[in-house]
A and B are shown apart, each in its own frame.
Chain A
């Protein structure tokens, strides 16, 4: 236990308070702006999605393989779902990145958590995008009209 008190203005600071060199670019500003803009767009996309899937037509009980196949036959819905996937994933990832930055105290923990987060995000975004673009309604056993 030490009771050493340094002279005032001796420039001793705990390393946790010394800022690393100035960060380049405006990534944090772009991320901040993206959160607000994507949030507004997502409100429209998600409520439009819920409305067409649950309220119009047969409701939740009518959602099956054929319903999805029918929707994705239309390029508008393909683009709609693609935009929703990308915006929701990036919005959510940035939100979790922020939470990790705020709450993880050790730099190593922070790096690990963010690494896992980015890998998971990349996997879901790539997989989802592939499904939207390579979707084939005529899988073996499909009894949809377009396949006959």
Chain B
């Protein structure tokens, strides 16, 4: 049994064409993917895919379309697909970006959109690199709270001012976009890299942490912060908008202040 509901008093008559979703624009793109299939070919090569995509689509959607509808052998990492997990960092049109945060409508469609794996880490397949060297450096800076005192019965208090010193660097999602955009890291894999320094910064400037000196000592290495050439590639690449180069400079200053 159905009853006719009276129209709500708040209903507004819209003129045709105003409001609503309307039709989503559609466009054709060429997705140029750097393929590497170690089982069948010795070298990496470019492969083009012609796709029809929508204005709301991201580069990740284009990759999904290729993998699900065209060529299932295309390999890439992605987990949450919403810019939180940091799995799908890749070089899009020569810049390190998260595929899930890069809208196709913001890219130039007159040229092929190039997608390749991040640089500086060993390539395993297509867009997948071995992240182990990256996490090795991350582990070395001890990315966990070290506190000498007794464990308090309540939470560890911290003022808003104390928190603001390292708030920016807490945003890191470990996607490796910064480290793999760093020209120093490309030629010197032993360099700790921006991501490890950012995560060290997060604890060095935390008032609740007592191991700042140990971390500064670790980063005062030949391959530590002094390897940074302030090219700002890392800041430009960070999908979370962390001021990476500034964080590195603050760690440099902290090491200097501690030594002098």
Contact of A32 with B226 at beta-carbon distance under 8 Å, contacts A26-B220, A102-B184 already known? yes
Asked whether any CB of chain B lies closer than 8 Å to the CB of A134, the reply is no
Bound state CA distance, A20 and B218, in angstroms? 13
Bound state CA distance, A29 and B136, in angstroms? 23
Residues of A contacting B122 with CB < 8 Å?
14
| A102–B188 touching, CB < 8 Å | yes
* Chain B interface bracket (under 10, 10 to 19, 20 to 34, 35 or more): 20 to 34
Distance (whole angstroms) from the CB of B140 to the closest CB of chain A = 8
* Chain A interface bracket (under 10, 10 to 19, 20 to 34, 35 or more): 20 to 34
Asked whether any CB of chain A lies closer than 8 Å to the CB of B256, the reply is yes
| A20–B42 touching, CB < 8 Å | no
| B189–A103 touching, CB < 8 Å | no
Asked whether any CB of chain A lies closer than 8 Å to the CB of B132, the reply is yes
Nearest neighbor of B135 in chain A, beta-carbon distance: A9
The residue from A1, A14, A26 contacting B189, defined by CB atoms under 8 A apart: A14
Residues of A contacting B255 with CB < 8 Å?
29
Total CB contacts across the A-B interface at under 8 A: 58
The residue from A17, A26, A32 contacting B133, defined by CB atoms under 8 A apart: A17
Contact of A105 with B136 at beta-carbon distance under 8 Å, contacts A23-B222, A28-B226 already known? no
Give per-residue flags for A1-34: 1 if the beta carbon is below 8 A from chain B beta carbons, else 0. Answer: 1110100110011101111101100111101110
| A1–B190 touching, CB < 8 Å | no
Bound state CA distance, A41 and B124, in angstroms? 50
| A102–B256 touching, CB < 8 Å | no
The residue from B184, B189, B222 contacting A17, defined by CB atoms under 8 A apart: B189
Which 4 interchain pairs have the tightest Cβ spacing? Answer: A17-B133, A28-B226, A23-B222, A17-B189
